[in-house]
Structure 1
Amino acid sequence: MQTSDYPLREVPASARKGLLSTSVVLLGFTFFTATMWAGGSLGQAFPIGQLLWIVLLGNLLLGAYAAALGYIACKSGLNAVLMGRFCFGEKGSKLSDFILGFTQIGWYAWGTATIAVVLVRTTGMQEWMEIPLMVLFGFGFCITAMIGYRGMDWLSRVAVPAMMVFILLSLAAGLVDVGGFAGLARQTPSESMNVAAAVTVIIGTFISGGTQATNWSRFAKSPRVAVIATLLAFLVGNGLMVLTGALGAMIYQQADIVDVLIAQGFVSIAVLMLFLNIWTTQDNTIYNFAVAGCNLVRTDRRRTVTVAGAAIGTVLAVGGMYNYLIPFLVLLGTFIPPMGGVIMADFWLKHRGRYPALIDANLPAFDRRGLTAYAIGAAAAYFSPLLPPLVGVLMAALSYALLLRVGQPAPVNRLSSSTEHSVSH
């Protein structure tokens, strides 16, 4: 039985999954604590009527971006790092591998530390237990990722419905506490934020995740399944996380669902919610790292790379480095979306909606057009005062389209398909 999840080649038709499987795995990924914190900033800045439209708009844009990449992933059977070989080159794609991999290992360290710290605080355990818990969770959460897609599918089929029930229970209790929808409508904003900034917050919190959701949408049985599952995850799943954080901040001045559940008296449910929420994100995160790592060093030993990544993340968590990584990780999140812009332009404009088989592709070591377009998109995102993630995607795609019209540059170096064949097999 195939257990490697095809880290260096296309997912075959025999391994494709249906709508339920693809949806629950992607929903497990988008149920992310940091998204609720972002929602909390919106809940303090907008009345409920305006907030709902902003959440809908932001997640529609985010879902459209992720779904477009999901369509390409399903059609090709490739994830973002493998698609990067076609537009950045055999060696040039290692840049995206490094950025994606480092971002994911940093978030894995943050999640590992977060669950240990919150669990000690919530249950009243002694502080010295934090480090042993970090080690336990650091390696424990990677088990389902080591199994691969099947492991994350099993976990998500249990965790996603449970978390949905917990969230709906909390929202119902919150409405009772605030006096129903009439009471919610009477809540007045305590902070100031314009609509463009609010949409940027929604998109920016998970657009890097949308780029890497191709790791699972490539397993979809059909492009239709990939698009629907991705839209469900990013429009409904991510939208629910943003809304939950916003309402929690409005009613309880707490954005995190765990803190809200504790405030409502659901302590046991809060602990279980914390565990499921972090686990379903952590295994996806370390899986992302493993996929990027496999492409970086050209190995199909995904399980080994997964354990190595978990060890690095655990060391960063125990050493307290996660506290210093967050601003850098947020910055890297600005530089990830332009990769998606180049990939989409390359697939539709250069390859006309169909990649050649990866094993047969004669690719340059460095594709100057793809790398230049990415640099332009990343710079545009970094300096843009308005919707940086979307500006980065659009500028990267437009730049690549213009560079394609300029003409075919001479490749720096070509690696033979026989070399790829010997490495991937």
Structure 2
Amino acid sequence: MKNLMILPGLFLRSLLQNGVDRVSQKKLQDQDFELQAVPSSAGRGFWKMFMLMVGFTFFSASMLAGGTLGQGLSFSHFIVTVLIGNLILGTYTGLLANIAAKSGLSTHLLTRYSFGEKGSYLPSFLLSITQIGWFGVGVMMFSVPVQTVTGWNIWIIIIVSGALMTATAYLGIKALTALSFVAVPAIAILGTISVGSAVNTMGGVNELFAYQPTETLTYAAAIAICLGSFISGGTLTPDFARFAKTKKIAVSTTLIAFFLGNSLMFLFGAVGTIATGKSDISEVMFTQGLILPAIIILGLNIWTTNDNSLYASGLGFSNITKIAKKKLVIVNGLFGTLMAMWLYNNFISWLGFLNMTLPPIGAIIIADYYFCRAKRYAALEHHSFQVVRWQAILAWAIGVLCALFIPGIAPLYSMLGAAVSYVVLAKVFDKPSAQRSSMKEVR
């Protein structure tokens, strides 16, 4: 009898413990792991990562770049340029994705190994400031055309759109993924229909391939435009790829995203410019009288990029301040929203310069991991970091100088200059023991 009375108690305890475990697991899944590695239990499968990464590459500025390429290249040359550019981008981001999936670390935490714990504040600051700038510019890129069409108060549009974009970044990776599942198919389908209509209006695909620009771009200049449009965002690939369940999923979804998503944005921009003189697909839709679809595609396109930018900026400032990412996302989102008009009018010229400062960061991470540490990083919690690794700071500066002063494909030269100089400087200044680690490897 006594044993029978104990059984309900054991059952209740087991039920409560199971509930606690489920709550703990849900809490684990909701975390953004801003200051630690993403555990294997929080890994995501192919389709979630695919939608997240494609949504990341659906970027309005890439359409503007595609429009520039469309004005300066024949369509066949445009295709070759985009393939070459995205091959370079895909290689760069794929290597970063592989490191992130193996380590579970964001871009900002990865820089601690190459730049040092305090030295990592420099890349985190540059990446975060650039992303907040893009956030503000993105809010205005949505608000201005909507205000023009609807006549609504511009500040109401800015505040509402900024708040919505901040909300998904605040909610974290689950909200970013959920938005991508809605936005990616909508943008792809509506954009393809609109571009198809524009091509038919100009006389069909044969006329598109027969198009010849009045002023031509060189291949070097065209590839530089292709790379420059998204190289800064590509440097932040680990912030998202770290959630992949396996390295194969991380690398494959990243490569597909840049070849599919980024190429589609370039295609929309180039075809739109050739057919209608408008590079943004939403503007093409406006001219076609498709007002509501244009607003939907414009909003979703910018939203999928802006919430990723804000999310990444939160991770960057969290690395510097050790404040939770969620709190920083609110601060960054509020600043980007209230300063959107100023950023749009004044900051966009600085973004070109800032974009040159970011590729060397990713190149140094790649060089450090693959060439200096034999593809092995000690676990974050087990590693004793240097305060500042000046060889990384100097290599970064060399990469920026290469972008500024070597004519040609500036983003590519900045990456190569930083990577090569870092490997040389690391071999000169690092002790042999610093290149090896007997500690437990990440994951």
In structure 2, what is the Cα distance between the partners aligned to 1:147 and 1:205? 27
In structure 2, what is the Cα distance between the partners aligned to 1:117 and 1:46? 29
Where do residues 7-156 of structure 1 align in structure 2 (5 Å cutoff)? Answer: 7-123=34-150, 125-126=151-152, 129-156=153-180
In structure 2, what is the Cα distance between the partners aligned to 1:321 and 1:49? 36
In structure 2, what is the Cα distance between the partners aligned to 1:222 and 1:157? 21
Q: Which runs of 5+ in 2 are unaligned?
A: 1-26, 433-443
1:348 pairs with 2:370: yes
Does the Cα contact within 8 Å between 1:76 and 1:354 map onto a contact in 2? no
TM-score, structure 1 length as denominator?
Answer: 0.93
Shift of 1:346: 0.7
Matching residue within 361, 365, 369 for 2:387: 365
Aligned counterpart, 2:357? 335
Aligned counterpart, 2:411? 389
Does the Cα contact within 8 Å between 1:37 and 1:255 map onto a contact in 2? yes
1:321 pairs with 2:328: no
Does the Cα contact within 8 Å between 1:337 and 1:389 map onto a contact in 2? yes
Amino acid at match of 2:381: I
1:263 pairs with 2:271: no
Aligned counterpart, 1:201? 225
Stretches of 4+ moved more than 4 A in 1?
Answer: none
In structure 2, what is the Cα distance between the partners aligned to 1:316 and 1:203? 27
Does the Cα contact within 8 Å between 1:68 and 1:227 map onto a contact in 2? yes
Amino acid at match of 1:294: S
Shift of 1:255: 0.3
Aligned counterpart, 1:162? 186
Aligned counterpart, 1:312? 335
Shift of 1:265: 2.4
Shift of 1:269: 0.8
Cα-Cα RMSD: 1.6
Amino acid at match of 1:305: L
In structure 1, what is the Cα distance between the partners aligned to 2:397 and 2:70? 35
Shift of 1:322: 2.4
In our comparison, the structure showing a higher alpha carbon Rg is 2
Q: Secondary structure at the match of 2:110?
A: helix
In structure 2, what is the Cα distance between the partners aligned to 1:290 and 1:190? 44
Aligned counterpart, 1:236? 260
Q: Percent identity?
A: 37
TM-superposition CA deviations, 1:314-349 (whole Å, max 9, x none): 12115x232110111111000100011110111122
Q: Secondary structure at the match of 1:268?
A: helix
In structure 2, what is the Cα distance between the partners aligned to 1:289 and 1:75? 22
In structure 1, what is the Cα distance between the partners aligned to 2:224 and 2:113? 29
TM-superposition CA deviations, 1:125-176 (whole Å, max 9, x none): 14xx101221111122111111111001111011101111011101211221
Amino acid at match of 2:377: Y
Does the Cα contact within 8 Å between 1:4 and 1:303 map onto a contact in 2? no
Q: Secondary structure at the match of 2:402?
A: helix
Shift of 1:409: 6.3
Amino acid at match of 2:147: V
1:298 pairs with 2:322: yes
Aligned counterpart, 2:8? none
Does the Cα contact within 8 Å between 2:391 and 2:426 map onto a contact in 1? yes
Does the Cα contact within 8 Å between 1:21 and 1:153 map onto a contact in 2? yes
In structure 2, what is the Cα distance between the partners aligned to 1:149 and 1:44? 37
In structure 2, what is the Cα distance between the partners aligned to 1:351 and 1:185? 48
Aligned counterpart, 1:415? none
